[in-house]
Structure 1
Amino acid sequence: MTGTAKLTRKGRATKERIVSAAADLIYEHGVAGTSIEDVRAAAGVSGSQMTHYFQDKRSLVADVVDHQARVVIELESSPAAGGLDSFEALRRWAALTVQRQVDKHCEGGCRLGSLAGEVVETDLLARARLAIGFAEWERKLREGLQSMSDRGELSPDADPEKLAMALLAALQGGMLLTQTQRDAAPLAAALDAMLTYVESFATDPATVGRRGQDG
């Protein structure tokens, strides 16, 4: 695969167009259900351009993992999501997360989690990239919780690292069940239960936002 840093601006744009097209196709049809030819046609590039930027499908999938991780992190960092650094902000984040699934009729699941389910046991490169992506996602959650801890809003017993890990695990498990059942209730329940646990560490009950989600 050609290093992105060595590409011209036009080359980087072309490569990103290929990766973006591949990400959308893989999200909709899965890795196995998406061929290099499918991606080539969707991106509007030639076969020689495909081989110039990607040695094989494995290298393309690895870049798709990075792309989907960026999409997720940007969504987590959006103004709508807020800073994730207060009980109210965490509840708002959870409600938005559930609403996105409702808006999608609970189809597709998590962009990163869906990929993990397909390739984590068969593609070491993709698994390594997935681990990095999930670690970055967890870091975003941990930073918010750490800010709350630093301000004294969480008791000393609270461990922001473990709470962030548990939040991400609840999110991923809830997403999978929601996708399977085509019902947002599992995701709403998982996030509500986890956030109720986070709120149990509040040093001042008055800082705890509204509980529950409409899912």
Structure 2
Amino acid sequence: MPDVPTAKGRATRARIVEGAAEVLRERGVADTTLDDIRGRTGTSKSQLFHYFPEGKDQLLLAAAQFEADRVLADQQPHLGCLDSWESWQRWRDAVVERYERQGDHCPLGSLFMQVGRSRPGARAIVAELMRQWQQQLADGMRALRANGLVSSTLDVDRAAAALLAGVQGGVAIMMSTGDSTHLKAALDTGIAHLRATAGESAGA
């Protein structure tokens, strides 16, 4: 990512990326050109290449990062405050609502198909998204543990990894079938497993 030293420059770059992400969601990667993005963002060709000198692929990576950030932002404030069963239910509902609203089109997946998942930049974006998501789930489980709502012996990192894997599997099936049943089942079963550990702790 090129250095953007001034506040004005950072704001311009952010505006281009957000505008590009909007166009890509509306038109799809294959049908979007740099001219489309220039028209939406009101930028000149020279300005576009000033911030993205490597051209479209570099801009697509930036848009992919924007979309990855939205995945977590759309789950807030619930994901950042998972300290009660009520807050977990609100998070669950927010996740289901987000992906039902998204439907069978995944902007992030489309961008990675175009850029190439094997590229280090693309892989780093996915890895960081999953790391942050799993970390916030684990933090929520630690909050439950501190409040005595789950077993004190719960392996929160492993449980968070399993729940995230279930969510991703449910999302993948939903995008293939248009049915959110599997996503809901993954979330509900994962949360039920956490609740059950409190009973296990009490019976130990």
Report TM bin, short chain. Answer: 0.7 to 0.9
Counterpart in the other structure of 1:165: 161
Query: SS at 1:171's partner residue?
Result: helix
Query: SS at 1:178's partner residue?
Result: helix
Aligned residues: 200
Q: Aligned pair 1:69/2:68, yes or no? A: yes
Query: SS at 1:149's partner residue?
Result: helix
Question: Which gives a bigger RCO, structure 1 or 2 (Cα 8 Å, sep 6+)?
Answer: 1
Counterpart in the other structure of 2:12: 14
Counterpart in the other structure of 1:100: 98
Q: Which of 175, 188, 194 in structure 2 is aligned with 1:192?
A: 188
Structure 1 regions of 5+ residues with no counterpart? 206-215
Counterpart in the other structure of 2:81: 83
With over 3 angstroms needed to count, the CA separation of the structure-2 counterparts of 1:201 and 1:119, relative to structure 1, is: farther
Query: Any conservation in 2 of the 1:170–1:191 contact (CA below 8 Å)?
Result: yes
Counterpart in the other structure of 1:156: 152
Give the Cα separation in 2 of the matches to 1:201 and 1:152: 11
1:51 is displaced (CA, Å) by: 0.2
Give the Cα separation in 2 of the matches to 1:114 and 1:202: 41
1:62 maps to amino acid: L
1:139 is displaced (CA, Å) by: 1.4
1:29 is displaced (CA, Å) by: 4.3
Give the Cα separation in 1 of the matches to 2:111 and 2:161: 19
Query: SS at 2:74's partner residue?
Result: helix
Counterpart in the other structure of 1:144: 140
Query: Any conservation in 2 of the 1:82–1:89 contact (CA below 8 Å)?
Result: no
1:96 maps to amino acid: A
Q: Which of 20, 34, 47 in structure 1 is aligned with 2:32?
A: 34
With over 3 angstroms needed to count, the CA separation of the structure-2 counterparts of 1:140 and 1:82, relative to structure 1, is: closer
TM-score (norm 1): 0.79
Counterpart in the other structure of 1:59: 58
Structure 2 regions of 5+ residues with no counterpart? none
1:47 is displaced (CA, Å) by: 0.6
With over 3 angstroms needed to count, the CA separation of the structure-2 counterparts of 1:167 and 1:24, relative to structure 1, is: farther
Q: Which structure's residues are more often helix, by fraction?
A: 2
Query: Any conservation in 2 of the 1:66–1:129 contact (CA below 8 Å)?
Result: yes
Give the Cα separation in 1 of the matches to 2:147 and 2:199: 10
Q: Using the TM superposition, name which of 67-76 and 22-31 deviates more.
A: 22-31
Once the two structures are superposed, residues 25-45 of structure 1 have per-residue CA deviations (whole angstroms, 9 ceiling, x without a partner) of 333444444332222222121
Give the Cα separation in 1 of the matches to 2:172 and 2:90: 21
With over 3 angstroms needed to count, the CA separation of the structure-2 counterparts of 1:191 and 1:173, relative to structure 1, is: same
Counterpart in the other structure of 1:123: 119
Query: Any conservation in 2 of the 1:84–1:90 contact (CA below 8 Å)?
Result: yes
Give the Cα separation in 1 of the matches to 2:68 and 2:102: 22
1:171 is displaced (CA, Å) by: 1.5
1:132 maps to amino acid: E
Query: SS at 2:197's partner residue?
Result: coil
Counterpart in the other structure of 1:3: 3
Give the Cα separation in 2 of the matches to 1:84 and 1:114: 31
2:94 maps to amino acid: L
Query: SS at 1:152's partner residue?
Result: coil
1:108 is displaced (CA, Å) by: 2.6
Identity of aligned residues (%): 34
Q: Runs of at least 4 residues of structure 1 off by over 6 A?
A: none
